[in-house]
Amino acid sequence: MEHEWESTKLTLIKQIDDNLIQLTEDLLNEQKSSIEILDVIGEIKGLLLNLQA
């Protein structure tokens, strides 16, 4: 059971990392609207809460 949780944590960390990379690219390129950027931030926050649980 603990092994499954570790695998889940690694998956969440990978998703967070991918989202942070996308957010950084979006901010640097300024191609996204503020609402789209806030959506990505909200998704990252949700992933972090899942990781903490």
DSSP string, 1-53: -HHHHHHHHHHHHHHHHHHHHHHHHHHHHT-S-HHHHHHHHHHHHHHHHHHH-
**Which pLDDT value is given to residue 15?**
93
**Which pLDDT value is given to residue 50?**
86
pLDDT tens for 8-52 read 889 999 999 999 998 888 887 776 778 888 888 899 899 898 888
**Which pLDDT value is given to residue 1?**
61
